[in-house]
Amino acid sequence: MLSIVLFVAAIAVYAVKAGRNVWWFSAILLILGLYIVLNVTFLASDYFTGEGINDAVLYTLTSSLTGAGLGKYLLPGAGVLVALVAVFGGLTWILRQRQGAPHHFGYSLLALVLAMASVDASPAFRQLTELVRSQTRSVDSDFDVYYKVPQGTIKNPQLNLVYIYGESLERTYLQPELFPDLAPELTALKNEGVDFSHTVQLPGTDYTIAGMVASQCGIPLFAPFEGNSSASMSSFFPKNICLGDILKASGYENYFMQGADLRFAGKDIFLQSHGFEHMYGAQELKTMVADPQYRNNWGFYDDTVLNEVFEKYLELSKKKQRFSLFTLTVDTHHPDGFISKTCSRRHYHFDGKENQSFSAVACSQQHIAALIEKIKASPYFKNTVIVVSSDHLAMNNSAYKYLNQHDRNNLFFIIRGDKPQTDLLPVKRSTLDNGATVLDVLGGDNYLGLGRSSFSGQSIATVFLNVKEKVMEWKPDVIDLWNFPKTITRYEIDQQKNTFSYSGAHFKMPLLLRIRDKKIEPLPESEYSAPLRYQLADFKENDKFIWADRCFKMARLWEPNLALSTGLCVAQGQMGGQPSVRLIEQQQEQHAVESAQQAIDKARFKKNVALLKVDENAIRYQANSFIFNVPGAPREVKEFSGISRPEEWGRWSNANLAPEVKIEYAQPLPEKFALAITAKAFGPNIGQPMPVKVGSQQQTLTLGEELRTITLHFDNPERSNLLEIIPPQPQLSNEGNILGHEPRKLGIGIGEIKVLPAG
């Protein structure tokens, strides 16, 4: 409330008393605009987390968002954008009310101070400040006293492992006295096993990938968010020994299966880094499931995935080789979950009305229970340990206010086929202890990172009176485990693995490094982050950089002879200098980093920034044909439309952008010419005549599903400069699409178009 009062006071003082001054108006508008953006960010973050801006928000925004189920958030997001524009417009109008009055320095200064105080008092600013502060060590750490590295193997392992993560499926849901008849099937199974009833949630364990890291590595997930670490590194906590590493070293084959895309939040990198060789997500399952179209915003429904899990369990059990089979559900994902078509518990009423989140829980738990019952009924159960846990407590869903009325705990229970045991263990513990507890059951050590077995060890949750504060104190120590190098003298490129390596660290390409004294900042590129050239354009003129990417993205600035190359290049230098560009020709190459300080030229810096910021469609290159697998067009082309983004082979037409492909040349085309088109057709357009028009003249093009070159001959007496290609039946498809993006309407795929003399 204080920040709101200060915000309103700043507006009132400036609008009523300050008078007109461009500098003061701009400064106050900037600070008040920052206040608005911060608080909108806070409210949007709180909508997901229930805790405002925390590590989960920063990690997710700086990691891969590929495969995120964004559909339910598009309309609210559009509403927020419209509201922001309206608020900024209204704020500007109010602040300009006394623009005709003489300026008053004192009132302007007072308004600026009030505006700055409103930002400082806002919860968003306080949370961001605390997040930045928490990344640095302020006291001597005892982290090494409590962080323990287990033995790398299990001696004589006898049991297979099925580990089920229930998305947001906290134990609170499974308390019939709170939510009657919500989850009777899974609750009954919980009561038949060893139930750990007091599993608390600690910082850095409160979202899916963090819950997985906590349960398998015994550490919270803290990352140096300014470096987007998880999205750029090709390994994930490379110094840690995690449960998957131990299982693999002990002869287990490790499997992971989920309905969502594996790339979201870097789950694929984490699993690959720690012993998982067999992974199935939305991309992999679509060729395995009975109905690839039966899916929700995040991926395949739980009934589909858990059926596949059981089939895999049977297949692996018959091999009589040790295995672990991990799975993660998705139907209970906030904001309100998804209801699969095969569950009988599709509707749950609470507080006098149906609640979608509760209904999703009732449905999903039924599928989990059915999977467990099938495993128990199989002849292989006697050699199996089943673990069921939530990945984290439920976030801000439609059941959230009811959950918060009670003490909340994560779900964690174990069902053993070899030694049936029914017990309720109320000892205080956290999800950091899950991996150590499982390791103990399988015959390994009873410790893993910060985790301890709840059968034979003492959880740090019972050691420290305020364990959450202690975990935050250890945050810099956890960040150090990422092993980010601070210097670079040489680098190695591996094109087969698509990695850029230096000083013992390995990163995925494309990659941009900002190099400063005793700090190297890796900046990756993903589908939802800014392209690297835009990120480089924000560098200072004397910032050193190394940029590994496709040649055409950088060579048009600094090496024109490679401007159309789709090969891999490495540029290095400074934005205000003259960067060098090296073509990487071998599968593996090593090179020294150029250390010489370049002469800085401000005019050259401005030119480089301007070229980097040019819109892709506005890029023009020197060539005698239109090459579609690189951005832009030849200098002879004035404008073009109806064409999607470049891919390795070329570009698809997209009728969502325009019903036909139009290419307008800067000069009239010849009266007689030939047109060589290298292209292919999509779906129903294959084998169909496709009109190609130049002015009033028309030819037809018939294409197959593979690229081939066809030459058409045109008379052009009108000297038209417009070429049109009209696919007859554009079709919606996700072919080659970026996951999470809307389907494109594809018709023709074009590799190259070349205008030739008649003859």
Q: Is the pLDDT of residue 99 over 60?
A: no
Helix H, strand E, coil C: the string for 44-94 is HHHHHHCCCCCHHHHHHHCCCCCCCCCHHHHHHHHHHHHHHHHHHHHHHHH
Query: What is the token pair recorded at 651?
Result: 């570009």
Which segment of 246-250, 342-346, 517-521, 532-536 scores lowest on mean pLDDT?
517-521
pLDDT at res. 229: 45
Average pLDDT over residues 271-279: 94
Q: What is the mean pLDDT of the chain?
A: 88
Question: H-helix or E-strand containing 502?
Answer: strand 499-502
| For the ranges 100-114, 712-726, 738-752, the one whose mean pLDDT is highest | 712-726
Average pLDDT over residues 644-670: 96
Interval 313-361: pLDDT, tens = 999 999 989 999 999 999 999 889 999 999 999 999 999 999 999 999 9
pLDDT at res. 132: 66
Percent of the chain with pLDDT over 90: 67
pLDDT at res. 488: 92
pLDDT at res. 89: 67
Query: What is the token pair recorded at 54?
Result: 């925390």
What's 14's DSSP letter? I
Q: How far apart are CA 134 and CA 129, in angstroms?
A: 9
pLDDT at res. 458: 96
Which segment of 47-51, 196-200, 402-406, 446-450 scores lowest on mean pLDDT?
47-51
What's the burial of 74, exposed, middle or buried (CB within 10 Å: 0-12/13-18/19+)?
Answer: exposed
The dihedral over CA atoms of 42, 46, 48, 49, expressed in degrees to the nearest 10, equals 120
What's the burial of 153, exposed, middle or buried (CB within 10 Å: 0-12/13-18/19+)?
Answer: middle
pLDDT class for 106, splitting at 50, 70, 90? confident
Show the domains of the chain with their CATH numbers.
2-133 (no CATH), 158-480 (3.40.720.10), 508-614 (no CATH), 620-757 (2.60.120.430)
**Looking at per-residue confidence, does 469 or 137 come out higher?**
469
| For the ranges 26-35, 138-147, 202-211, the one whose mean pLDDT is highest | 202-211
Average pLDDT over residues 396-412: 94
Report the Cα 204 to chain-centroid distance in Å.
Answer: 17
pLDDT at res. 598: 82
pLDDT class for 109, splitting at 50, 70, 90? confident
Q: Is the pLDDT of residue 84 over 70?
A: no
**Looking at per-residue confidence, does 722 or 479 come out higher?**
722
Q: How far apart are CA 258 and CA 302, in angstroms?
A: 8
CA distances for 360 relative to 71, 347, 349, angstroms? 18, 8, 12
Average pLDDT over residues 412-420: 96
3-state DSSP assignment of residue 526: coil
Which segment of 55-69, 477-491, 675-689 scores lowest on mean pLDDT?
55-69
Query: What is the token pair recorded at 21?
Result: 């001054």
Q: How far apart are CA 414 and CA 411, in angstroms?
A: 10
pLDDT at res. 442: 97
pLDDT at res. 297: 84
Q: How far apart are CA 126 and CA 80, in angstroms?
A: 22
Average pLDDT over residues 738-747: 78
Q: Count how many Cα atoms sit within 13 Å of the Cα of residue 213 in the half-sphere of its side chain.
A: 30
Percent of the chain with pLDDT over 70: 87
Task: Provide, for the chain, the percentages of residues in helix, strand and coil under a 3-state DSSP scheme, each rounded to the nearest 5.
Answer: 35, 25, 40
**Looking at per-residue confidence, does 677 or 529 come out higher?**
677
pLDDT at res. 709: 97
**Looking at per-residue confidence, does 47 or 757 come out higher?**
757
Q: Is the pLDDT of residue 193 over 80?
A: yes
* Contact between 690 and 726 (Cβ < 8 Å): yes
Q: Is the pLDDT of residue 120 over 60?
A: yes
pTM recorded for the entire structure: 0.68
pLDDT class for 384, splitting at 50, 70, 90? very high
**Looking at per-residue confidence, does 184 or 481 come out higher?**
184
pLDDT at res. 508: 83
Interval 572-629: pLDDT, tens = 999 999 999 999 999 999 999 987 778 899 999 999 999 999 999 999 999 999 999 9
Locate the DSSP E strands across 136-252: 160-166, 194-196, 199-200
pLDDT at res. 202: 96
pLDDT at res. 69: 46
